[in-house]
Amino acid sequence: MTSLELGPVLRHVGTTTATIWVETSARCVVEVLGTSAPTFEVCGQHYALVVVEGLEPASCLPYEVRLDGELVWPLEGTGTPPSYLRTRAEADHTGRLRFVYGSCRYPPTDDPELEASLGIDALDAFATRLMDEVAAADDAASVLPDALCLLGDQVYADEITPRTERWIRENRDPDDPDGPGLEIADFGEYSHLYSESWSDRELRWLLSTVPTAMIFDDHDIRDDWNTSQAWRDEMAGKPWWPQRIRAGLASYWVYQHLGNLDPATRDADPLYRKVLEADGDVYDLLADFAARADAEVGQPTGVRWSYRWDLGRTRLLMVDTRCARVLNAQDRLMINDHSFAWIEESASDGEVDHLLIGSSIPWLMPPAVSHVQSLDEWAAARGSKLAETVRQAVDLEHWPAFRASFDRLADLIRGVASGPAAPATISVLSGDVHHSYAAEARWSSPTRSRVYQLTCSPVRNGVPWFMEYVFALGWWRGLTGALSRVSRAAGIGELPLDWTTIGGPWFGNAVSTLETSGRDARLRVERSGARGGLEAVAELPLT
């Protein structure tokens, strides 16, 4: 009998449609709520997307998964509530919406010492609480979040668990000088990572029930991915890198990207159509596509991994800040012109009450850190090898390290925030930096929208103890002022806006919830406690 290897994962949900992703043990037909889809094959693995259509807006239905007619989900004996499929309300909906977000989730391990150092998984703790709430509720829809936004580092291809290390040693020689050592090498090893990360009981149920939007960050591929042209040149010299980058982007396309897209966009994708029409393994198709996507880094156009979800009168723009980069010294951009034009168009398309911009890496860092990153970019562009070494050593690769793009995003947000149809709030949701904080932005001329940087990281990982002092120091006005004077002396333009922290920094494993209702918005930040539950560290009104 064919088995359900991974999933179901509830992905893009519209007012009348819902997309469910699965991985199966063999070729089969997958059925959900009377709708079926055949699997496609990648490196001997089998996947399907089932798009259920004709649903009622704002409805909430329990669902099952069948493979070739055999019931495989829900799993017996797990003690979890049913999985639900909840459609969106109509576009003019102004009722309550809840967005749960976070990033950087290191998977469960079988190493007690490592488990103790990583701490309680905040997303697992959130899922456990939600299961209890759903089981106790008369109406599951009343307690379910509207979206889960995973903002990068869903898997760690360069920092594997002890269990995966043993598995790799059983399957290949990690000491091969032409191989990646104890890092992920190919698509099959990536599929092992996703299985390791998404198989635990709590997370598997959560992903089956809450529509999940995802975007990659560096560890989904490798630390410092596309931080600079020097980094790309170094990686190009490694014999194992071409296979690794193809496998990384191909697996991201299968496990994350496909489900991000609405059905019309996905069906119009030539690659997706070729995959569905193919007879047999399609990895060569995906590897060719991945190679082109990687080669287009640095070009004015390229593959657009960014996407948009509209939920009532709240809009989510998930932005690729890794593969859309331009890394020429004379034209260094976080996002190429083609993709940025799409962001600008999507941000100003119609009226919304709240605009959310998902960026795996923060736009507004602690101000002193922002100045350091811009100064490092300035020095590296003038040939400083020390600046390039520091950039890679301490991850000086956030929006301020791409100063032209930082300013362009500031201009975009100010324009939307000042327009006649300005949202009540504009929030940049980010992760990556292994601590959480909320900051409010202000320009010299007041805007009609309130603008925020809302950062939540990690879901489950650590940060060196001294970084707590570094990040705290980054908000110190005295240091910020001194670095601002150095920046002006170097000829770097003034920052186009000011921002101050309204909460944090907080350290530890955390998830955050942004709740909107009409033109009101609130933020809740919760940290995993010593006993396994979640403890609220902040409740902040944003309007």
The phi and psi torsions of 130 (rounded to 5 degrees) equal -65, -40
pLDDT digits (tens, 9 = 90+) for 229-270: 999 999 999 999 999 999 999 999 999 999 999 999 999 999
Q: What pLDDT is recorded for position 525?
A: 98
Q: What is the mean pLDDT of residues 465-479?
A: 85
Report the distance separating Cα 530 and Cα 229, nearest Å: 43
Q: What pLDDT is recorded for position 331?
A: 82
pTM, two decimals, is 0.96
Q: What is the mean pLDDT of residues 65-92?
A: 92
pLDDT digits (tens, 9 = 90+) for 326-339: 998 778 999 999 99
CA atoms within 13 A on the CB side of 410: 21
Q: What is the mean pLDDT of residues 366-381?
A: 94
Number of separate helices (H) and strands (E) present in the chain: 17, 25
Report the distance separating Cα 161 and Cα 196, nearest Å: 9
Q: What pLDDT is recorded for position 400?
A: 96
pLDDT digits (tens, 9 = 90+) for 292-311: 999 988 776 778 999 999 99
- DSSP for 122-185 reads HHHHHHHHHHHHHHH-S-GGGTS-SEEEE-S-SS-SSS--HHHHHHHHHHS-TT-TTS-SSS--
pLDDT grade, residue 467 (50/70/90)? confident
Q: What pLDDT is recorded for position 493?
A: 86
Q: What is the mean pLDDT of residues 371-391?
A: 94
Summary mean pLDDT of the chain: 94
Q: What pLDDT is recorded for position 466?
A: 78
pLDDT digits (tens, 9 = 90+) for 199-208: 999 999 999 9
Q: What is the mean pLDDT of residues 188-208?
A: 97
The architecture that CATH gives domain 74-83+97-541 is 4-Layer Sandwich (3.60)
What are the residue ranges spanned by the domains of the chain?
A: 1-73, 74-83+97-541
Report the distance separating Cα 67 and Cα 38, nearest Å: 10
pLDDT grade, residue 494 (50/70/90)? confident
pLDDT grade, residue 126 (50/70/90)? very high
Looking at per-residue confidence, does 73 or 468 come out higher?
73
Residue ranges of alpha helices (H) inside 211-295 are 229-236, 241-252, 258-260, 263-267, 270-277, 283-295
3-state secondary structure 122-138: HHHHHHHHHHHHHHHCC
pLDDT digits (tens, 9 = 90+) for 128-153: 999 999 999 999 999 999 999 999 99
Task: Kindly state the helix (H) or strand (E) to which residue 331 belongs, with its residue range.
Answer: strand 331-333
Nearest 10 degrees: Cα torsion 20, 23, 26, 30: -10
pLDDT grade, residue 67 (50/70/90)? very high
Cα Rg of the chain, angstroms: 22
CB neighbourhood size of 90 (10 A): 10
pLDDT digits (tens, 9 = 90+) for 151-173: 999 999 999 999 999 999 999 99
Report the distance separating Cα 395 and Cα 344, nearest Å: 27
pLDDT grade, residue 76 (50/70/90)? confident
For residue 465, pLDDT over 80 is answered with no
Q: What is the mean pLDDT of residues 34-48?
A: 97
The angle subtended at Cα 305 by Cα 299 and Cα 311, nearest 5°, is 140
pLDDT grade, residue 470 (50/70/90)? confident
